[in-house]
Each structure stands twice: as C-alpha cells, then as structure tokens.
Amino acid sequence: MAAPPQVGGLADAVFDYADDDPQRVALGRKDAGGQWRDVSSAAFRDEVLALAKGLIAHGVRFGDRVALMSRTRYEWTLFDFALWSVGAQSVPIYPTSSAEQVHWMLHDAEVVAVMVEHEDHAMTVGSVIDRLPNLKRLWQLDAGAVDELVGAGGMVDDEVVHRHRRAVTPESVATVIYTSGTTGRPKGCVITHA
C-alpha cells in the first residue's frame, strides 16, 4: 500500500500540479490587449516562485502578515500563493475600506507590508502609515510592483523558498480575514492551511 501523500500548505498544490502536468491549464488571465489567455501550471508555479523570492528579498519572513487591498484579479491569486510559499500570512482588505478601517486592520494584524491595487488605495494606506510602526513596505500593483519584486528576488536561491514552503503545516495560519465591522470594529478570522 502506498504511503499517504504529505500534506503541507496551500502553496504545495501549485508546485505539485506543475510537477505532475506542467502544461495543464491552471488559470486564465487577460493580456494587455484584454484577451483571455491560458496560464499553464508550470508557468503559474514559476511566477509564484519568482514573486516569493522577491518577497524574501524585500524582507518578508516566515509568519509575517502582509495585506492586500485590491479587487479580485490574477495578481491577487499570484500574491496569495507567493506569500504562502514563504510561510507568510495574507490579510485581505476590502478595497472600499475607509482609512480608519484600514488602520485598524493593519494595526490589529501587525502587518509588515501592504500590496495595494492603485494610487487611491496607496493614498488611503499612506494617510495612516505614520500610525503603523510595524509597516515597512507599501507596493502598488498598477505601478509595477510584481515586476519590482520579481527583479529584486533574482539573487534569492529557489531552495530558500522551498525550505520555507516545506515548513508550512496544515495548522499554520494562511490568512486573517476581517469581518465587515458593521456591528463594531472588524474582527480578524484566522484561517489555516488545513
């Protein structure tokens, strides 16, 4: 009888699918011309790995919490899996959140970095950044943050990411999702890799 598969974190699926069937379509995304294009499991794995290396190069460490303030888009998925590959935790922020709500969530979660979608989100975070002593980095998707991070990670060895990824267990925290806060301050709901 074969041994049961090792269960680790959510990012393992990206690497396992790419190993099992590299040409399998994993996702679809719009290109610069607005046309939908397939993304193979190997291509997605390579993007996740490159972004994870960039996050490490920018100081994101195992167990760190990193927020994402954006609409749902391809880069959100890429960013989540890159964070999980590093052993970091994602903290999604509603793109319509007020500055005070953003401050509360970033402060409460002890976020060390934030990825925002566009300039308006950057301004919202910027308006409260002086009250967030743990926050060290602010990146903007529409200003080329993914390319910036990938470029910075060029000197990080792949094995560094794999070592972090292998340290993630089903009990490790994957994400902290905040409630809408309609009855008071938003509350963080901890979700593991299980």
* Distances in whole angstroms, Cα of residue 142 to Cα of each of 116, 137, 153, 174: 8, 16, 19, 25
> Exposed, middle or buried, 181 (CB in 10 Å: 0-12/13-18/19+)?
middle
Topology classification of domain 12-192: Rossmann fold (3.40.50)
In this prediction, residue 32 carries a pLDDT of: 86
Q: pLDDT of the chain along its 194 residues, tens only?
A: 444 455 689 999 999 999 999 999 999 999 989 999 999 999 999 999 999 999 999 999 999 999 999 999 999 999 999 999 999 999 999 999 999 999 999 999 999 999 999 999 999 999 999 999 999 999 999 999 999 999 999 999 999 999 999 999 999 999 999 988 777 788 999 999 99
Q: Cβ neighbours of residue 12 under 8 Å, at least 6 residues apart?
A: 165, 168
Domain regions of the chain by residue span: 12-192
Total residue count of the chain as it appears in this document: 194
